[in-house]
Amino acid sequence: MRHFIFIIGIGILLGSCSKKTVYPLGVYQAETVPAAPDYSKTYYWSALPTKKDMADVTPKGLMDEQANAPVDVFFMYPTIYTGEKGDDQWNAPVNDPEFNKRVDESTIKFQASVFNSAGKIYAPRYRQAHISAYGYFRRDSVMAQKVFDLAYDDLKKAFQYYLDHYNNGRPIIIASHSQGTTHGIRLVKDFFDGKPLQQQLVAAYLVGIPVAKEQYENIPVCKTPTQTGCFCTWRTFEEGHTPRRFTSDKIAVTNPLTWTVSEDYAPHELNKGGVLRNINKVKDNLTSARVVADKGILWATKPKFFGSFLLKTKNYHIADFNFYYLNVRENAQDRVRAYLKR
């Protein structure tokens, strides 16, 4: 199942790349991996509630409420090491200021910030796998596994450091996208599923990578908007489009407009607002949502915005969170309230 989850990334991430991709040089060697992060230092956290960072940003009119938030959010970001100039290692160097800036000004600003009204955000930097490592499962699965294991080992250590030094028994939201979810699936299994820490789980938002309905023995798919101790997941494609691979009725799908697993169509009027390139401009009624249960995917109508006629891709992976920004934001708050009331 782990290999199945890893392989999916190459199709959904590379599909939107138009410029030439830089690939790692040579084979993976443990002796040449980038230096490990030291999570005792704030530098190795993209977001911490104790420092000013991009996770504090909000669309105009909304508030960053981390200061008084009663829960924590542990966020694992997607693949940003996507083969741009200089991306020539198998694992991303967390000491590279340019790479860290790319992380902070993209996923932290536009995805992690979704949760700053629900909890204090912790987002560790990690030596994530180069995007091309997903494809290597077809060529050299042993090598590819080592690349991903190194990335996961960083996140596992970061989470343990967070538990030991920051958590203090507070409730936890797990949030992730794409490669972050590749690792987030494992993290939830290792730390929460059937473990004492499961009692602190508000919910897990494991978005952008297929998650099996029966992924966990003790953690179910969220089926109502205020259910807690469960996980939400979806992968977004244009209405009517089915990807060629990685579809199955065994994959869980949550509708981010209704927060159920029902296949009932949720019209764009239920979309409280999405965010695209400008974080300050929330676009009301941006798109719809429909669960396609037999395929394990989410369908969305083509969003309408200035220049949207140029949008040719039918794979909306990059906007899994952003199309439903305000709905996710409010749902995280709802689940926190439900958890605290419980």
Among residues 186, 219, 253, the alpha carbon closest in space to that of 6 is found at: 186
Instruction: Inform me whether the pLDDT recorded for 5 exceeds 50.
Output: no
pLDDT given at position 136: 87
* Three-state SS at 54: helix
**Which pLDDT belongs to residue 138?**
80
Task: Give me the chain's average pLDDT, please.
Answer: 92
pLDDT at 202 over 60: yes
What are 101-136's pLDDT values in tens digits?
A: 999 999 999 999 999 999 999 999 999 999 999 988
C-alpha to C-alpha distances, 73 to 13, 102, 143, 211, 302, nearest whole angstrom: 25, 21, 32, 20, 30
The better pLDDT of the pair 20, 236 is held by 236
Number of domains in the chain: 1
Chain centroid to Cα 112, Å, comes to 8
Confidence (pLDDT) at 311: 75
DSSP letters for 162-183 = HIIIIITT--EEEEEETHHHHH
Report helix angle 141-162 to 2-14, nearest 10.
Answer: 100
Within 8 A by CB and 6+ apart from 40, the residues are: 161, 165
Average pLDDT over residues 9-16: 35
- Residue 62's CB is within 10 A of a number of other CB atoms, namely 18
Is the pLDDT reported for residue 29 higher than 80? yes
Confidence of residue 279 (pLDDT cuts 50, 70, 90): very high
Contact 296, 290 (CB under 8 A): no
Tens digit of each residue's pLDDT (9 = 90 or more) over 213-265: 999 999 999 999 999 999 999 999 999 999 988 899 999 999 999 999 999 99
Residue 25: which pLDDT band, with cuts at 50, 70 and 90?
Answer: confident
Which pLDDT does position 26 carry in this prediction?
Answer: 85
According to the model, what pLDDT value does residue 2 have?
41
pLDDT tens, residue by residue, 32-56: 999 999 999 999 999 999 999 999 9
**Which has more confidence, 320 or 17?**
320
Provide the residue range defining the domain that includes 116.
2-341
Q: What is the pTM of this model?
A: 0.93
Q: How far is CA 126 from CA 59, 81, 91, 148, 154, in A?
A: 27, 11, 9, 11, 6
Checking if the pLDDT of 332 tops 80, the result is: yes
Nearest one of 140, 137, 155, 35 to 91, comparing CA atoms: 35
What integer pLDDT is reported at residue 140 of this predicted model? 85
pLDDT greater at residue 311 or residue 178: 178
pLDDT at 310 exceeding the cut of 90: no
Using CA atoms, how far apart are residues 123 and 97, in angstroms rounded to an integer? Answer: 16
- pLDDT score, position 21: 85
